[in-house]
Amino acid sequence: MIICICRRINDQGVQAAIEAGARSPEAVQAHHGCEFNCGKCRNTMGEMISESVDAMPANIPLVAAE
């Protein structure tokens, strides 16, 4: 499914950017070497980032309190 019509970025492209570390719609665009044109895809990308990051396992090391 196309997410960004202007830059022809589909959902797999957004997901690939997220897996590479993109945590903002701007970072997704940068991952693909472009910038926003109309910006209508910004909210959808943000939602995809939030959902993906929420689903990721936490890699925060636990430290015992003293």
By CB under 6 A, residue 6 contacts ligand FES: yes
Tokens in use for 65?
Answer: 């309190």
Rg (CA), the chain: 14
Please, which residue, 42 or 59, has the CB nearer to ligand FES?
42
The letter for the amino acid at 16 is A
By CB under 6 A, residue 39 contacts ligand FES: yes
Contact range with ligand FES by CB under 6 A, out of 4-12, 14-22, 46-54, 56-64: 4-12
Burial (CB count <10 Å: 0-12, 13-18, 19+), residue 35? exposed
Q: Which residues of the chain form contacts with ligand FES (CB under 6 A)?
A: 4-7, 36-41
